[in-house]
Amino acid sequence: MLKPKIVVLTGAGMSAESGLKTFRDENGLWEGHDVMEVASPQGFARNPELVLEFYNQRRRQLLEVAPNAGHKALAELEQGFDVSIVTQNVDNLHEKAGSSHVLHLHGELLKVRSTVNENHVLDWKKDLVLGDTDDKGHQLRPHIVWFGEMVPMLETAAQITQQAQILIIVGTSMQVYPAASLIHYAPNKTPIYFVDPKPNIRSSDFENLTIISKTAAEGIPELVEQFFNSWP
């Protein structure tokens, strides 16, 4: 028997309880720098050392944190369902928890790529510095989608969302890209579950929408248990 298809869209709120900081202070700055300076092609061209250090700090922190109960529950969901995760997050916590179908819209912290050949991608766990090159001598850069760059996986994410029999949205606003655009690819009348401690929508905004006003680590395990109890 075919397992029901569940598509999960996840954002920063998914990983917050694992202790991953956003790196922005209350003014939206990182060590006094606008995020555009450290997360854009222009910033990298202007000051590559600064950009590399920003991602080195984030990579070091990622290696010290672990998946939370929400990540683990989504991995367990695969025992009874066909689960695909589309994430805006650049961490590897879904994979670390055991999820096997994870699409990263905005790239991955633990990968780097050639500045010349974007298809030349390498696994990378240490600091990345100027002078780290591919086999042809071209500088390596973080494998991250920066501001102003295309999101190459968006079309694939839309195709995955079109298959959803159940859609779960957690840790991201449904009013901003990309969740806002992806939600419209879900088939008509697909049940949607929105998990967020401070939901910014009403259940009347979408047909078949259930709002769970809890964090990912609280709400997802409860929802997963509910699915296992209610599906044959």
Q: What is the pTM of this model?
A: 0.94
Q: What domains can be seen in the chain, in order of their start residue?
A: 1-19+68-106+151-232 (3.40.50.1220), 21-64+111-144 (3.30.1600.10)
- How many other C-beta atoms are found inside a 10 Å radius of the C-beta of residue 117? 11
Q: Are 160 and 5 in contact (CB under 8 A)?
A: no
- For 184, the token pair is 């419209």
- For 121, the token pair is 């991608």
Indicate which residue of 94, 106, 138, 184 is catalytic: 106
Amino acid identity, position 194: F
E strand or H helix at 140? strand 140-144
Cα separation, 113 vs 118, in Å, equals 6
pLDDT at 24: 67
Residue 138 is among the residues annotated as catalytic for this protein: no
Nearest to 216 by CA among 207, 206, 224, 226: 224
121-143 pLDDT, tens per residue?
A: 999 999 999 999 999 999 999 99
The pLDDT averaged over each successive group of 10 residues in the chain (232 residues) is 92 90 70 87 96 95 96 97 96 98 97 96 98 97 94 95 97 75 92 93 86 96 95 70
Distance in Å from the first CA to the final CA of the chain: 11
